[in-house]
Structures are given as C-alpha cells and as structure tokens.
C-alpha cells in the first residue's frame, strides 16, 4: 500500500501554484453530457476524481480524452442511462450525472452512493428537486431510477438546506425543462457560479447563481462549450495553512482571494501576515500562531472542506480553540489521528476543543478521508521526526501533484510503496 512519508521541521518558502478546483471540475464535466457538440475544458487538475467521472461519462457512451490540463468530451453519442455501483462507490459526485441524463434522455438510473467517512450524506434534496420538475423516482436493488418520458417541467423549488450537489443537479436538469424554474435557498458556492457559467455558454439561461435565488428559463437544446475551471480554493487554503504552520513565507499563486475570505480572516486573526494581489496571496508567519475559534457554514461561511486543515494548525497554536462543524454530522475522523501525533483535542458533540501543544511527534497514521489526509500532511510538516500516512488514495482524489508541489516549497515529503 502506498504511503506518504513526511519529515517535519522544514520552514516552507517560495511559490506554489493552485490548480483547477476539484469541486468545480466534477459538476462541469457532468454538465458536458448536456451538449450535442463537443466541449473543451481547461485547467483540469490531475486527480483520481477527474478520472472517475471521465470513466462514468465513457460508460454512458461519451468520448472523453484527457491531456495534461485539458479534457475533451463529445457527448453526442450518449446512449446509456445507467451509472453502476463500481463507479459511483468511488466518488459520490458521480451522482451529478443524474440531472443531465434526466434532462437529455428522460431517464437516469444511478447506483445509490451510500455513506462515507464524513457522514451519511443523503440525496433526498436532489430527488425532491427532480420530483418537483416532474420526474418519477423509483428505488430498488441499490439503484435510484428517475423517469420523465414526457420531459421535465419548470417548477419553484425550495431547498431545506443549501446543498451544493442538489443545487448543481437541479440546475442542470432545469436547464432543459419546459418553462421557468426557481431554486430558493440554493447553495451560493463559487463552484455553483462556475457551473452556471459553463451552462450559459452552452446555451442555457440561468440567472442569480451565487445569490439566494436562481432563475432558470429552460431551453430545448444545449451545445458543447470551451470553459476554464476556477482555481481550487480548498487547495489554496491548504497551502496557506501549511505556510502559516511552518512559520513560512509562501506565495500561493492563482489563489482567488475573493473565494477565500473566511480562511484569510481566520489566518489574520491567528496572527499570520496576508498580502493579497490579483494573481494570488502571500502568507507569511513570523511569530507564534494564536488560537482562534472556527465554525463551518455554507458559503460564504468558513468551508467545511478546510476544517480539518485548520484544526491541524490549531493543534500547535497558543491557547485553546473551539472548532465547530455544522455542515456534516461526522467530520472529526482526523481527531484521533492528530491525537496519535500528540495533539490535545476533546470532542464535545459538534465541537472539538483543541488545546495547542508545544510540539507534535511523527508516527504512523491513516487518512480517513480527503481533508483528514491533508490535515495529517500539515501536522507531519511540523512534527518531530517522521510521519507515515497510509490510505492516501483519499488524498489522491483531490490534490493535484501534492508531493511535487510541497517539495517545490521546501517540504520533506515523499511517496513510497
């Protein structure tokens, strides 16, 4: 089994460039299923999740070609409507092909994604949206089947929670529904705006993405488009925390500071110097890190996908911080692993109380999920001795050339078999 070996103690410095966003590229690739002509996508990160969704599209009959940084999709020959368990189990975002398939083919049969390390992650809001658009939903034998043989009809849909995936799936389905759809209380994440942008380039009529109400006028056909994926705000945040934690001085190129406001605010509160410009952000830590509290919330609140990494920072801060997770029910799997490295953390319901310690010590640990894995890499960078991180397939899902990028700014990290 492959592992990451991190030897702590190096101060990071230099420039690291952020890749295209995992959470933007996955729905964008799903959206290309709606196009009757080929699409070209740029700033494609080299990620396992990208390869998985590409496989899902190929399984459905699309022709997909991946070159470094670019992905070509031709969905003109999509014939199948079924995404099997072997593909969906690898990545929950595979469920995002349901909206496009339903809109285009009038049917979709997708394996139930199941729970994962960070919680049960139901899909009821996606299904509620499809039903409101006129689809009939049937569940059985581990699959969800949605049918709309007469086509979808626009509707007013209120989401009980601003779910990112449900907003994306409904937006894609409604793009080709008859009439107007209004999504109330949608997710407002930058990835929603990126998806609306490509859909509009494909010929859709979507307004209000990134606000509290999205209006979609359905159109009868969408064509392919050329689109450049937005930078990954979570990857950027991870390198920013790495710079802060190691007392480093790192320029995170391509970071869009507009998307990183809560992370920047909390790093400043912790005593880190941040300099923003149009091409990125410089993160420089000169003194010790102060403990600060964080509470995860839907965008524009503090992102749950940065919670584990920020907790890693807090394990070596001065004082006690309270980290509250409100988005996912069980996103503290990294706590026990950080404790193995000497962190002082107690979980109290949805909060973790983190008492900063003078030092962490390296040991074998496991990445229980993607961001938990990133948090362990960060902890390893400052730990005394060697940290051996197992189950790194989780990290490979979402960090483009992580070892190469960390080494380029001075980290002592390697991948071993």
Ligand X SMILES: CC(=O)N[C@H]1[C@@H](OP(=O)(O)OP(=O)(O)OC[C@H]2O[C@@H](n3ccc(=O)[nH]c3=O)[C@H](O)[C@@H]2O)O[C@H](CO)[C@@H](O)[C@@H]1O
Ligand Y SMILES: C=C(OP(=O)(O)O)C(=O)O
Task: Decide if residue 26 touches ligand X (CB under 6 A).
Answer: yes
Q: Apex CA 124: angle with CA 299 and CA 119, to 5°?
A: 65
Q: Is 236 in the site for ligand Y (CB under 6 A)?
A: no
Of 116, 226, 284, 363, catalytic: 116
Interface pick for ligand X out of 51, 89, 121, 393 (rule CB under 6 A)? 121
- Is residue 216 within 8 A of residue 174, CB to CB? The reply is yes
Smallest distance, ligand X to C-beta of residue 35, A = 21
Q: Which does 266 bind (CB under 5 to 8 A by kind): ligand Y, ligand X, none?
A: none
E strands in 297-350: 320-324, 344-348
If you search the block for the tokens 């964080």, which residue do you land on? Answer: 294
Alpha-carbon span 388 to 145, nearest angstrom:
43
Taking the complex as a whole, how short is the minimal distance between the CB of residue 26 and ligand X, in angstroms?
A: 5
Active site includes 116? yes
Minimum CB distance to ligand X smaller for 163 or for 238:
163
Nearer to ligand X, 85 or 385 (CB): 85
Residues 6+ apart with CB under 8 A from 404: none
254 binds, among ligand X, ligand Y, none (CB under 5 to 8 A by kind): none
Q: Is 282 annotated as a binding residue?
A: no
- Tell whether 77 is in a known binding site: no
Which option in ligand X, ligand Y, none does residue 371 bind, with CB closer than 5 to 8 A by kind? ligand Y
Residue number, 92 or 415, with CB nearest to ligand X: 92
From residue 243, alpha-carbon distances to 16, 99, 200, 354 in Å are 10, 40, 38, 20
Member of 57, 98, 123, 229 binding ligand X (CB under 6 A)? 123
Taking CB under 6 A as the rule, does residue 259 contact ligand Y?
no
Interface of this chain with ligand Y, residues 375 to 414, rule: CB under 6 A? 398
CA atoms of 284 and 251, how far apart (whole Å)? 9
β-strand pairing of 39-42 with 70-74: antiparallel
Q: Which of 370, 392, 402, 413 binds ligand Y (CB under 6 A)?
A: 370
* Residue 235 touching ligand Y (CB under 6 A): no
Residue 271 is encoded by which pair of tokens? 């005593």
Annotated ligand binding at 123? The verdict is yes
378-390 burial, b at 16+ Cβ within 10 Å, e below that, comes to: bbbbbbeeebbbb
| Integer Cα distance of 102 and 34 in angstroms | 10
CA dihedral 165, 166, 167, 172 (to 10 degrees): 90
Q: Of all residues in this chain, which one has the CB nearest to ligand X in the complex?
A: 165
CB–CB of 323/348 below 8 Å? no
Which residue from 88, 128, 93 is spatially nearest to 109, judged by alpha carbons? 88
Least distance (Å) between residue 324 CB and ligand Y: 17
Q: Which stretch binds ligand X (CB under 6 A): 116-124, 257-265, 281-289, 350-358?
A: 116-124
153-212 residues near ligand Y, rule: CB under 6 A: none
Q: Is 93 in the site for ligand Y (CB under 6 A)?
A: yes
Residue 371 binding ligand Y, by CB under 6 A: yes
| Cβ–Cβ < 8 Å for 7, 406 | no
Nearer to ligand X among residue 166 and residue 392 (C-beta): 166
Distance CA(182)–CA(205), nearest Å, equals 12
Residue 187 or 381: the one with the smaller Cβ distance to ligand X is 187
* Residue ranges that bind ligand X, judged by CB under 6 A: 23, 26, 92-93, 119, 121-126, 161, 163-166, 187, 191, 304-305, 327-328
Which residues make up each annotated binding site for phosphoenolpyruvate?
Answer: 22-23
* Catalytic residue set: 116
* Residue ranges that bind ligand Y, judged by CB under 6 A: 22-23, 92-93, 118, 305, 370-371, 398
């Amino acid at each position: 089994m492959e592992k990451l070996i991190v030897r702590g103690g190096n101060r990071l410095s230099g420039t690291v460039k952020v890749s295209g966003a995992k959470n933007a590229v996955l729905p964008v690739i799903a959206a290309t299923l709606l196009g009757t002509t080929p699409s070209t996508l740029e700033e494609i990160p080299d990620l396992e999740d990208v390869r998985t969704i590409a496989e899902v599209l190929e399984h459905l009959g699309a022709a997909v070609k991946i070159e470094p940084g670019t992905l070509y999709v031709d969905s003109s020959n999509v014939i199948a409507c079924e995404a099997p368990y072997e593909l969906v189990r690898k990545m929950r975002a595979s469920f995002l092909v349901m909206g496009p398939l339903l809109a285009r083919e009038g049917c979709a049969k997708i394996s139930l994604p199941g729970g994962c390390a960070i919680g049960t992650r139901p899909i009821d809001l996606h299904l509620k949206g499809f039903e409101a658009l006129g689809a009939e939903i049937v569940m059985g034998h581990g699959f969800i089947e949605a049918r709309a043989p007469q086509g979808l009809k626009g509707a007013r849909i209120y989401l009980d929670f601003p779910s990112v995936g449900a907003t994306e799936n409904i937006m894609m389905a409604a793009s080709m529904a008859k009439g107007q759809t209004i999504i109330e209380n949608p997710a407002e994440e930058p990835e929603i705006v990126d998806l609306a942008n490509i859909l509009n380039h494909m010929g859709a009529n979507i307004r209000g993405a990134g606000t509290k109400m999205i209006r979609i006028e359905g159109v009868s056909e969408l064509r392919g488009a050329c689109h450049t994926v937005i930078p990954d705000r979570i990857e950027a945040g991870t390198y920013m925390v790495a710079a802060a934690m190691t007392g480093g001085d790192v320029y995170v190129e391509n970071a869009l500071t507009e998307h990183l406001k809560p992370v920047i605010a909390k790093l400043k509160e912790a005593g880190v110097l941040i300099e923003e410009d149009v091409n990125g952000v410089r993160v420089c830590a000169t003194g010790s890190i102060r403990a600060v509290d964080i509470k995860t919330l839907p965008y524009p609140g503090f992102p749950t996908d940065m919670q584990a990494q920020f907790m890693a920072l807090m394990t070596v801060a001065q004082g006690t911080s309270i980290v509250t997770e409100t988005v996912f029910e069980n996103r503290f799997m990294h706590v026990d692993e950080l404790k193995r490295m000497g962190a002082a953390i107690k979980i109290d319901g949805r909060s973790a109380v983190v008492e900063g310690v003078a030092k962490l010590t390296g040991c074998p640990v496991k990445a229980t999920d993607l961001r938990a894995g990133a948090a362990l890499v960060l902890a390893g960078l400052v730990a005394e001795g060697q940290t051996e991180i197992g189950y790194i397939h989780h990290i490979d899902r979402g960090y483009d050339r992580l070892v190469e990028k960390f080494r380029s700014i001075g980290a002592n990290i390697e991948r071993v078999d």
